[in-house]
Amino acid sequence: MPFDLSSRRALISGAGAPNGIGMASARLLGDMGARIFLTAASDRVGERAAQLRLEGIDAFSAPADLTRSEEVRWLSAEVVERFGGIDILVNNAGMTSVATPAEASGEVGGIDEVSPGQLTLAFERNVASAFSLTRALMPALRLSSAGRVVMVTSVTGALMAMREQVPYATAKSAMVGLTKALALDEADHGVTVNAVAPGWIGTDSQSEHERLQGLATPMRRSGRADEVAALIAWLCTSEASYITGQTIVVDGGNSLAEERHP
């Protein structure tokens, strides 16, 4: 059967929000047959796993602060012990949320307002967390017959920029470099590493300004979390085994347009 993930073992980070990209990805991967392990910074990730189990998906969870190396090591060991290995890692942590909007995360501001500490924090939440989790799990991913790593970055930084978002854009852009470097290093081990760059996505954390920006895209709407999840899931399949080191945009054509119409 094409696009089948039966017996695959997946860890999805940043999966605490009920309507976010992490949860949508976990649900779709689970529907395709994968066993799911969810993590997020808060205890609410347990509620997400419970919901998936009610839907018939084999799902587990544990909260973890991925900016702390000891918690990354513990989580990685827990996942490998629980599943006996791992095949799929979706690095979705670091996205904005209702609990931590962009303004509260310290990732917003121009060069005159942003301190070196804020830039470091943006890197810790986005790049360093993905680096640390991937590093901890790569030995197990190399043992898989179909190792997959998917980084969830953003069109901001990777392809475009927004005013007053120096830390966020810089950190998200760095995730693209990490993706390319890992893809080259791990190709001999059969592990593919790709990035997905969402544009305006209508999750619970989307602001009114962002919603209006979504209406100005060529598709005249914001994207849905499940539309991003569809690409993430496909990159995890055997059918995508010859794709690596790529950053694929999901933005309704927004990055194509030189002009904007209200």
Distances (CA, A) of 35 to 7, 11, 14: 7, 9, 17
CB 252 within 8 A of CB 199: yes
List, in sequence order, every beta strand (DSSP E) within the chain.
9-12, 35-38, 59-61, 88-91, 148-152, 192-198, 247-250
Let me know if 242 is a catalytic residue. Answer: no
Out of 25, 168, 192, 214, the active site residue is 168
What would you report as the CA-atom Rg of the chain, rounded to the nearest whole angstrom?
17
Tell me how far apart the alpha carbons of residues 129 and 22 are, in angstroms, rounded to a whole number.
Answer: 15
Q: Answer positive or negative: Cα dihedral of 112, 113, 116, 120.
A: negative
Residue 30 parent element (H or E):
helix 21-31
Query: What are the tokens at 61?
Result: 């969870």
Tell me how far apart the alpha carbons of residues 48 and 79 are, in angstroms, rounded to a whole number.
Answer: 17
Q: CB-based contacts of 123: which residues, under 8 Å, 6+ apart?
A: 170, 171, 174
Distances (CA, A) of 95 to 2, 108, 213: 31, 13, 18
- Nearest alpha carbon to residue 150 among 29, 42, 60, 52: 29
Positions marked active-site: 168
